[in-house]
A and B are shown apart, each in its own frame.
Chain A
Amino acid sequence: EADIYQTPRYLVIGTGKKITLECSQTMGHDKMYWYQQDPGMELHLIHYSYGVNSTEKGDLSSESTVSRIRTEHFPLTLESARPSHTSQYLCASSFSLTGELFFGEGSRLTVL
C-alpha cells in the first residue's frame, strides 16, 4: 500500500478564500506531482518537482502555486479560489520517472 496522504479529502469553500491542499509521502521519493482531474475526464499535470527547492509548472495552466521545502511534503495553494477551480486534485510521487507512480486518495474541492 502506498504511503502518500492528502488532506483534506473533501473541501467546500466560498469564492475568494485561500486554500492549501496538503500532500505528504513517507517513501523518500524525490519526484512529486499534482494532477487535476474533472469527473470522467483525463488527468492534467499542473505542477511537479524533482526534489527539494525544485518546482515546475505542468502542461495545464493553473493559478495555483506549490512549494517543496522538504522531500516528503508538496503542498498546493490557491490564493483566491474561484468556482472554476472546482475539481479533484491528485498528488503523486515516484522514485524514478520510468517507474511506478504512487497516487494519494485525492482532494475534491468545491468552490461556491
Chain B
Amino acid sequence: EDKVVQSPLSLVVHEGDTVTLNCSYEVTNFRSLLWYKQEKKAPTFLFMLTSSGIEKKSGRLSSILDKKELFSILNITATQTGDSAIYLCAVPGGGSEKLVFGKGTKLTVNP
C-alpha cells in the first residue's frame, strides 16, 4: 500500500531559527513528490520534485529529494511568524489517479 510519513508531526520554534521537515514515502512506480503549505484554508503548492539531488528553492524555502533512500526534506531558513502553517507532503499513488498525502507537520513560529 502506498504510504507517506512525515516527521515531526509538530514543531515549535522561534523566529530566526532554521527548520527541517521530513517526508518519507513508499510507492510503486514513483513519479514525483509535492510539498504544500496549508494555513487557515486550502493547501497552496510549494514544490514538485522528480529528480534526486536537485534542490528546488524559493526564497527562504528549499527542498531536495533522495530517491534512493525514499525521502525528501523541506528546509526553511530564518523562519518568520508567517511561516506558521501545516506543511504537507504528497506523492501520486503507484497504481491510481490520486495523490497520497502525509499527515502533515504543524509548524509554529513564535516571535
Chain A contact surface mostly: loop
Interface contacts (Cβ under 8 Å), in number, total: 53
- Other A-B pairs beyond A103-B44, A106-B42, 10, CB < 8 Å: A33-B99, A40-B86, A43-B88, A45-B99, A48-B98, A90-B42, A97-B97, A98-B32, A101-B34, A103-B43
How many residues belonging to A are interface residues under a CB distance threshold of 8 Å?
Answer: 22
Q: Which residues of A contact B (CB under 8 A)?
A: 31, 33, 40, 42-43, 45, 48, 50, 56, 58, 90, 92, 97-106
CA–CA, A98 and B43, complex, Å: 16
Q: Which residues of B contact A (CB under 8 A)?
A: 31-32, 34, 36, 41-45, 48, 50, 86, 88, 90, 92, 97-99, 101-104, 106
In the complex, which residues of chain A have a beta carbon less than 8 angstroms from the beta carbon of B104?
A: 42
CA–CA, A99 and B101, complex, Å: 14
- Do the beta carbons of A97 and B34 come within 8 Å of each other? no
